[in-house]
Amino acid sequence: MSIRFLLTYACLSLGFILNAQEAPLIQCVSVEGSSVRITWQSGTDTAGTFTDYKVFRYNPISDLSTLLGTYPGISSTEHLQAGTLAGTESILYYLTATYGSQVFYSDTVPTIDLNLASIVDFSVARLTWAQFIYPTELSSFLYYIIQMNHDGTWLDVDTLYFDEMTLLFNNTLGYDQVFYQHKIQVCQGALASIPIQFRLQLVHSSACISQSSSQVNEFKDATAPTPPVIETVSVDTLTNEAQVYWFASPEEDTGGYRVLSDFEIPWTTINDPTVLLYQNPLSLAGQQVEGFLIVAEDTCGNRSATDQQIPHFTILPSLEFIRCSRSVRISWNKYLDWMGGVKNYVVYGAITGTALQVLDTLGSSATSYVHQAVEVASNYSYFIKALPVDEERRPSFSAKKSIQTNYPDLPSFTYLANISVLDKRSIELKALVDPAAVGTRYRFQRLDRYGEDFDPVITIGQAAADANGIITYVDSDKDPGSAIYVYRLAIVDSCGFEDSYSQESSNILLQVNADSGNRTNTLIWTPYRQWAGTVGSYRIFRSEDNNFPFFPYANVAGDRTYFVDNVGTETDYNENSQYCYKVEAVEMENPYGLNQGSKSNAACAVQENVMFIPNAIVIGGNNVLFKPIGGYFEKDNYLMQIYDRWGHLLFETKDYTLGWNGTQNGAYVQEGVYAYRIKFFSGDGKEFSRDGTVTVLYSN
């Protein structure tokens, strides 16, 4: 390779002059398809000695030059070489200017050879090309324009100045290369790859531009947009519909946004990327706190991840009229996740129908405010405004809530509708309340174990009543199988005072006693007390399988509190051992039209088991099978074993219906005495064992 090439290859001279009067200056070398256009600055010929310009192509491998064209006119400024391979390699050119017998040489200037690669799952274009050294006085005028073509039109996608370039040294080529990456944001159907061309244009102070070869590769937009940042979640105080505002994702190919709940349930899809607000017409922001997430979606269907975004939530105030102090307490949840946090909470309130006024401005940690000296028998409305520390963000308004400041009338009646045992540890309480007694609270009370005072169980508001006016509560951690619990209902006014009480009622306590001699179970229970109606009857339920399930078994009159169950039948003898019962009182003629049923605890009784065991068998005689016969025990959990005198196991069965025929491995044993062990369980899980001997005889 020539010394001249080594010098000029490292210096792409676009726009500067080594010898303004004599040396030719190549300004641009531009690839145009398979052709290359060389543009130079025309010289001056004040002495009239100019002969011609000659354009050469230089081969650095052979160190040979090829004459491409001769231009005798000094005003000539360009040459077009057709049929080159400039799209696959860099081509070197230089120019001579002949003045009489003197020949002046330009610098050797290459075409820009662009290399294009598709990386990161075809979603990023990596461009590399040779970097050259420029004179200091001209470097500020030089920059690259990155161009892309995917639909027949070349578009500028970036401008790269020399001081912004990333250089990587290429060990193979022996010089620096410019390294540039461009994220693809062009879509041809969801996730489909398309061919995209790239080229460079080198711009400087002259009128022409040096253009690189164009390269093509397959690309697709597989990069999700930047997750949008939620600006504010608020509530429209006119409609109590939640609103969410967000900042746009910066990507130009962002096609729209998906609005999700904080549980990622979709609310809507917005196909206009300029729309950065959504108001939910299905919102229940006046009843519950609602959270939002925003997902950006580009034109290729790529969506930003929800795990990179923090949900924002509406503010929900709750109101409480404090009757005894004539005040309203407003409580609310904090607004979370603003960058910088909350600066202040502003409380607005006034009588409904008038303009809401600022009542107070509170600090960022406040979650409640008491509005003093409100007018009684009026309706007040309130909302909260949260102000962010970042004043560029919108404030967040809560839902607007209203409350009536009337003293509610006391209920016209108070009635403990039912007491019923649910299970071993729970008792269900039901109270019928006056639906007109708005704002009233009710307190279930239980008589203490000394029978002297009633202790509070729980206080429940009127709002807990169902459509029939029934308030239900389950009193847990009790022992209704061994104790009677007495309850009543207290009416609690808005100042917390108990004004009146219902009747007292108690659970039914059932006991069962087994009489194994007579094979009966006697049920005795305490009467239910007390209903507004009468106890029409008692329904008896029985279970024969460890309490589950219970089946209707018998009915007795409402004035009767005992029942005798005869369990001496053959079925009972063969199949049952434990018997469990429940009793249910059935109400009739309830004046409120709500007849109830109160169930007792479950109570069980176990009949004493019977086991008859033979003491001998006669092989070839009448009694050829050793098989116990019994009743009132669990046949499914049974074991019988036969041993010889040396303790060897001869026979074993878990099937109660099987007996021992005096054999071992198919052969009869010798006459003699053999030991047996029989194990079985009663219905309540108690284990029994019978040990003894059986004599084996042979018939003559």
Range with the poorest average pLDDT among 119-123, 136-140, 221-225, 232-236: 136-140
Q: For residue 16, what pLDDT is reported?
A: 36
Q: Which of 114, 133, 137, 117 is nearest to 125 (CA)?
A: 117
Mean pLDDT over residues 51-68, rounded? 94
Residues 300 and 187: beta-carbon distance below 8 Å: yes
User: 352 by DSSP, 3-state: which?
Assistant: coil
**Taking 80 as the threshold, does the pLDDT of residue 2 lie above it?**
no
**Taking 70 as the threshold, does the pLDDT of residue 393 lie above it?**
yes
- Please compute, for residue 29, the number of CA atoms within 13 A of its CA located in the half-sphere on the CB side: 25
Q: For residue 545, what pLDDT is reported?
A: 61
pTM for this prediction: 0.44
Residue-wise pLDDT tens digits, 163-204? 777 777 666 656 678 889 988 877 765 557 789 999 999 887
DSSP code of residue 393? S
Q: Which CATH class is domain 317-404?
A: mainly beta
**Taking 60 as the threshold, does the pLDDT of residue 133 lie above it?**
no
Range with the poorest average pLDDT among 5-14, 342-351, 357-366, 465-474: 5-14
As a three-state string, the secondary structure of 43-99 is: CCCCCCCEEEEEEEEEECCCCEEEEEEEECCCCCCEEEECCCCCCCCCCEEEEEEEE
- Please compute, for residue 61, the number of CA atoms within 13 A of its CA located in the half-sphere on the CB side: 2
Residue-wise pLDDT tens digits, 510-542? 999 999 889 999 999 999 998 999 999 999 999
User: 416 by DSSP, 3-state: which?
Assistant: strand
Residue-wise pLDDT tens digits, 240-275? 999 999 999 998 888 999 999 999 999 999 999 999
DSSP code of residue 438? T
Exposure b/e, 612-640, CB count within 10 A at least 16 = b: eeeeebbbeeeeeebbbebbbbbeeebeb
Q: Which of 278, 279, 276, 233 is nearest to 254 (CA)?
A: 276
Q: Which helix (H) or strand (E) holds 336?
A: none
Mean pLDDT of the chain: 88
Range with the poorest average pLDDT among 196-210, 279-293, 472-486: 196-210
Mean pLDDT over residues 536-556, rounded? 87
Q: For residue 170, what pLDDT is reported?
A: 63
Amino acid, res. 423: D
Between the ranges 66-80, 176-190, 621-635, where is the mean pLDDT highest?
Answer: 66-80
**β-strand pairing of 551-557 with 534-543:** antiparallel
Q: For residue 14, what pLDDT is reported?
A: 36
Confidence bin at 302 (pLDDT 50/70/90): confident
Task: Considering the domain delimited by 229-313, tell me its CATH architecture.
Answer: Sandwich (2.60)
**Taking 90 as the threshold, does the pLDDT of residue 502 lie above it?**
yes
Angle in degrees, CA 296, 300, 301, rounded to 5: 50
Mean pLDDT over residues 573-593, rounded? 90
Mean pLDDT over residues 383-406, rounded? 95
Task: In whole angstroms, give the CA distance from residue 41 to residue 62.
Answer: 29
Angle in degrees, CA 40, 43, 44, rounded to 5: 165
Domain boundaries, the chain: 3-110, 115-219, 229-313, 317-404, 415-506, 510-606, 610-698
Q: Which of 529, 325, 323 is nearest to 441 (CA)?
A: 323
Cα–Cα distances (Å) from 440 to 253, 490, 492, in that order, read: 59, 11, 6
Confidence bin at 44 (pLDDT 50/70/90): confident
Task: In whole angstroms, give the CA distance from residue 155 to residue 145.
Answer: 10
Mean pLDDT over residues 370-377, rounded? 91
Distance, first Cα to last Cα, the chain: 129
Task: In whole angstroms, give the CA distance from residue 198 to residue 160.
Answer: 14
Residues 66 and 56: beta-carbon distance below 8 Å: yes
Residues of the chain above pLDDT 70, percent? 92
**Taking 80 as the threshold, does the pLDDT of residue 138 lie above it?**
no
User: 572 by DSSP, 3-state: which?
Assistant: helix
CATH topology assigned to domain 610-698: Immunoglobulin-like (2.60.40)
CATH 2.60.40.10 fits 415-506, yes or no: yes
CATH superfamily label, 3-110: Immunoglobulins (2.60.40.10)
Confidence bin at 71 (pLDDT 50/70/90): very high
**Taking 70 as the threshold, does the pLDDT of residue 11 lie above it?**
no
Q: For residue 572, what pLDDT is reported?
A: 83
Q: For residue 171, what pLDDT is reported?
A: 62
Task: Record the tokens describing residue 649, joined without a space.
Answer: 């196991």
As a three-state string, the secondary structure of 537-567 is: EEEEEEECCCCCCCEEEEEEECCCCEEEEEC
317-404 and 510-606 agree in CATH topology: yes
Amino acid, res. 504: E
**Taking 80 as the threshold, does the pLDDT of residue 466 lie above it?**
yes
DSSP code of residue 628? -
Exposure b/e, 674-697, CB count within 10 A at least 16 = b: bebebebbbbeeeeeeeeeebebe
Task: Record the tokens describing residue 601, joined without a space.
Answer: 């605890």
Q: Provide the total of helices (H) and of strands (E) in the chain, helices listed first.
A: 2, 57
Q: Which of 465, 447, 466 is nearest to 457 (CA)?
A: 447
Query: How far is C-alpha 36 from the geometric centre of its chain's CA atoms?
Result: 60
Task: Considering the domain delimited by 510-606, tell me its CATH architecture.
Answer: Sandwich (2.60)
Q: Residue 243, preceding bond cis, omega within 30 degrees?
A: no
User: 536 by DSSP, 3-state: which?
Assistant: strand
In 238-391, at which residue ranges do the beta strands (DSSP E only) sit?
241-247, 254-261, 266-270, 277-279, 291-298, 312-313, 317-322, 327-332, 342-351, 357-362, 368-371, 379-388
Angle in degrees, CA 279, 283, 288, rounded to 5: 130
Confidence bin at 547 (pLDDT 50/70/90): low
Supply the CATH classification number for the domain 115-219: 2.60.40
**Taking 60 as the threshold, does the pLDDT of residue 333 lie above it?**
yes
Task: In whole angstroms, give the CA distance from residue 111 to residue 226.
Answer: 38
Q: For residue 434, what pLDDT is reported?
A: 87
Q: For residues 479 and 85, which has the higher predicted lDDT (pLDDT)? A: 479
Task: In whole angstroms, give the CA distance from residue 692 to residue 218.
Answer: 92
* Cβ neighbours for 583, distance < 8 A, ≥ 6 positions apart: 508, 510, 523, 525, 538, 539, 540, 541, 599, 600
Exposure b/e, 354-368, CB count within 10 A at least 16 = b: eebeebeebeeebee
Range with the poorest average pLDDT among 232-236, 545-549, 589-593: 545-549
Q: For residue 558, what pLDDT is reported?
A: 95
Residues 206 and 149: beta-carbon distance below 8 Å: no
